[in-house]
Amino acid sequence: MEFNNPLVFFISAIGVFNGFLASFYFLFFSKQKRVQNLFLGLLLLFLSLRIGKSVYSIFTARDARDLLILQIGLSACFLIGSALFYYIKSSIENTKVIPRAWKIHFAVAAILIITVGIIKPYRIYPEVWSNYIVYSIYTVWGVYILASGVLLKTIFKKAVSKGQQCTTSELWLVAVFIGNLLIYSAYIIGYFYLYLIGTVTFSIVFYALLIFLLFKKNRESIFQDIPEKYALKKIENNEAEQLKVQLYKAMQDEQFHKNTDVKLKDIAEALHISPHKLSQLLNDNLGKSFAAFINEQRIEDAKQLLIENNQFTLEAIGFEAGFSSKSSFYATFKKVVGQTPSEFKKQYA
C-alpha cells in the first residue's frame, strides 16, 4: 500500500529522525555511561530502524523498493523486545555492569537473525519472510513485552495502591513500557487493517514521552542511578518488625508529626538508620509513603482531640495535630476517615 500525503509523511518521518538522534545520544554522547542508557539507546535504535523501514515501504513505489532495506528493518524488529526487557530489568535492578548472560543472549539473537537474513535474504525469498519469518519476529517481540510487564508488576501494584507514590523513574519505566505496547499493538492492528498506523503511533509515543520529561519534576533522576531505596531489596522480616516497633515508639515519644516541617531524615536519625532505609520500610513493609504515614499519625491525634476536647475549635485541633492549614486538615481527614471533622465530632457529642 502506498501513500503520497506530505503531512502524513512528515509526521511519520519526524519521529524516526528524532528517534535516531536520541538513540545516538544515549549510545555515543551521553556523559553518564550507564548500562540503562546503553539499552535505552539500543531500544530507540531498533525501533527507529523498524519504523524507518515502514516509512520507506509506505512512501516508496512497490517496484522501486530495495528489499534489503526492508530486511534490515525487520531484523531490527527482532531485537526490540529484548532491548526493552533489559532496559527495564537493568533500571529496576540498578545494574552497573552488563552480566555475561545478557551479552550472550543478545549476541545469539543478533547472530540468529543475521544468519537467517544471509541464508534466506528478503530479495530472493520475500514469501518466506512474509509468511514465516515476520510472524516469528512479532511473536518474539510480544513475548518480551509480556516479560517486561512481569518485571514491572511491583511498580504497577504501587501505582494503583492508595497511600503509595511512584517515583519519577518508576513512572518513566511504566511510560516506556506502555509506549512500546502501543507501538506493538498498532503494528498488529495495522498488519490486518492500516499499516500506516504503526509509524504514526511511534511519533505520537515519542513526543508523549518527551512531554512527560518536560513537565515531570525530578526528571533528571530518570537517566541517573536509581537510589538504593528503589532497588527492590526487601528488608528482612525480623529486622522490619523491630524497626516498626522503634518507629511507632519514636513517633509517640518525640511527636514528630506535630512539626509541620518534619523531614524523613529527622525520624531516620532518631532510629539510627539511613533515610533510604526508612523510606524502604515505609514503602515496602507498611505500604505507604512518608507523607501518608505522617498524615495518619496527625489524623489519629486529631481524632483523640475531637473526642476528648470541646474547648478547641476544629481549626485549632488541626494545627495542634500538626497540619499547616485548615484546608489541608479538612481534606486529609475526609480522605483518611471518610468523614469531615465536624461529622466525626458529632458522633461523640
Question: Residue 170 corresponds to which amino acid?
Answer: E
pLDDT of residue 284: 80
Show Cβ contacts of residue 178 under 8 Å, excluding neighbours closer than 6 positions.
Answer: none
List, for the chain, all residue ranges whose pLDDT scores fall below the cut of 70.
1-6, 8, 162-164, 190-200, 212-234, 310, 349
Residue 231 confidence (pLDDT): 46
Calculate the alpha carbon distances from 123 to 76, 111, 128, 186, 191 in Å. 17, 19, 11, 26, 21
Report pLDDT for 219.
55
DSSP state of 272: T
Q: What is the pLDDT at residue 139?
A: 94
Q: Are 185 and 157 spatial neighbours (Cβ–Cβ below 8 Å)?
A: no
Report angle CA 148, 150, 153 to the nearest 5 degrees: 115
CA 30, 154, 220 angle in degrees (round to 5)? Answer: 25
C-alpha cell at position 74? 525487520
CA dihedral 145, 147, 151, 155 (to 10 degrees): 50
Distance (Å, rounded) from C-alpha 108 to C-alpha 302?
62
Question: Per this entry, what is the length of the chain?
Answer: 349
Structure confidence at residue 80 (pLDDT)? 94
Cβ atoms of 300 and 308 within 8 Å: the answer is: no
